[in-house]
Amino acid sequence: MRNYLQPGDSLALPIPYAGGVTAGQGVLVGALFGVAAMDGAQNALVECQTKGVFDLTKEPALAITAGARVFWDNTNRRITTTATGNFQIGIATTAALAADATVRVVLLRVPASGA
């Protein structure tokens, strides 16, 4: 097919955050979410994985059950289970204790509950 460009497993995204990102951090640009493959300064184009399973920083003192829908808190740049004001990015693949710093997430755009 002539207009096929790539599988979309990763995309070059402009880093929207003052101070940039380090490899492994989440990046939200509009409705696109990915995990930075390398460090990058604000406004730099950085290759970001848009599919896969990643250990991502979560909200402190929050326990997350395996199978829970998880959301990106773009203000604090971390995973939460609070839907309001946040962007759904996937599902927790393993449970995370309140004391854990990260949670394992599969990146999936899943429909709203009951859809």
Predicted TM-score (pTM) of this structure: 0.91
pLDDT at 55 over 60: yes
Mean residue pLDDT of the chain comes to 93
Domain locations in the chain? Answer: 10-49, 53-107
Residue 12: predicted pLDDT: 96
- Please give the Cα distance from 27 to 50 (Å, whole number): 10
Q: Which residue type, as a one-letter code, is found at position 27? A: V
For range 1-26, the mean pLDDT:
92
Number of Cβ within 10 Å of residue 47's Cβ equals 15
